[in-house]
Amino acid sequence: MLEQLINELRAANGRHPVKLKHILENYYCQQHCHHMAFVGDCVHTPTELLNGKAEACAKGNYFRNPYDTLRMLVMEKIADSEQHRNIILFHENLAAAFCVDYYNVYVTVRGW
């Protein structure tokens, strides 16, 4: 679902599609989402732990269904920040994950 939304944003900006095929990095994104759920807020990983990767994070309230919620987080929250949008648009390697915690949804996208 995240790969589809990321590629939709990339296509709308004239970029080619990518695959979220980096299993270990997707796992790290998932763990980061769980960490954000634990602290209850959108927080970034310290730069020294990212190994040169760029990171975009978002938090939003769950509504209607998972697709609409993730669409809002990727297309509005992440895409509204030029720095975060550029991670999705201009990195060839991407990893992403999300976590639902009661009524909050957390998304992490990393690019390199």
Any idea where the domains of the chain sit in the sequence?
2-111
The three-state DSSP-derived secondary structure of 48-109 is HHCCCCEEEEEEEECCCCHHHHHHHHHHHHHCCCHHHHHHHHHCCCEEEEEEEECCEEEEEE
pLDDT over threshold 90, residue 63: no
For the stretch 12-59, pLDDT in tens is 999 999 999 999 999 999 999 999 999 999 999 999 999 999 999 999
**Arithmetic mean of pLDDT, 67-80:** 95
Domain 2-111: CATH superfamily is CAP (3.40.33.10)
